[in-house]
């Protein structure tokens, strides 16, 4: 029953930019940067730690395709790759999805720390401490 309400289990085919036996690749509906993509297993599964080795390989194959497409279209200077695994980690859709977020020089004043900023008070490990 959950899968019928899941937005990733009911994706319109027109949104799919790439797919293989176990996964699909789409652009995020609420992108944080141009080319922000999601790579999603076809099977309704909540956690990265619950997928099979075949699903893991399929996700990584599409992640490479999404990166190549973003590189060709938007020419980013870097990428963040992230998974919010569980509500405490910020997961709002209980279907695993991998974010590929293109990054551009100057999109943040100081991008050091990258994904470490999910907990802002602990992200900056490079500044001197008292």
Q: CB within 8 A of 90, min separation 6: which ones?
A: 84, 118
Query: Which comes out higher in pLDDT, residue 2 or 45?
Result: 45
- What value does the mean pLDDT of the chain take? 94
pLDDT in tens, 31-83: 999 999 999 999 999 999 999 999 999 999 999 999 999 999 999 999 999 99
Q: CB within 8 A of 110, min separation 6: which ones?
A: none
d(CA 83, CA 45): 13
Q: Would you mind telling me the total number of residues written for the chain in this entry? A: 130
Structural domain boundaries in the chain: 2-108
Provide the annotated active-site residues.
Answer: 97
pLDDT at 4: 60
pLDDT at 52: 98
pLDDT at 1: 38
d(CA 55, CA 20): 10
d(CA 47, CA 19): 20
φ/ψ of residue 93, rounded to 5: -110, 115
d(CA 100, CA 93): 16
Class of the CATH-defined domain 2-108: alpha beta
Confidence of residue 119 (pLDDT cuts 50, 70, 90): confident
pLDDT exceeds 60 at position 17:
yes
């Amino acid at each position: 029953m959950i899968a019928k309400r899941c937005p990733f289990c009911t994706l319109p085919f027109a949104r799919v930019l790439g797919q293989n036996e176990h996964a699909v690749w789409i652009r995020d509906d609420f992108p944080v940067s141009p080319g922000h993509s999601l790579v999603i297993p076809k099977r309704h599964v909540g956690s990265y730690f619950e997928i099979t080795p075949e699903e893991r390989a399929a996700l990584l194959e599409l992640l490479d395709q999404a990166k190549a497409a973003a590189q060709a279209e938007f020419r980013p200077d870097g990428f963040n790759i992230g998974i919010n695994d569980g509500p405490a980690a910020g997961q709002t859709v209980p279907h695993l999805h991998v974010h590929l977020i293109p990054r551009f020089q100057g999109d943040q004043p100081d991008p050091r720390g990258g994904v470490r900023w999910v907990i802002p008070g602990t992200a900056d490990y490079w500044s001197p401490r008292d």
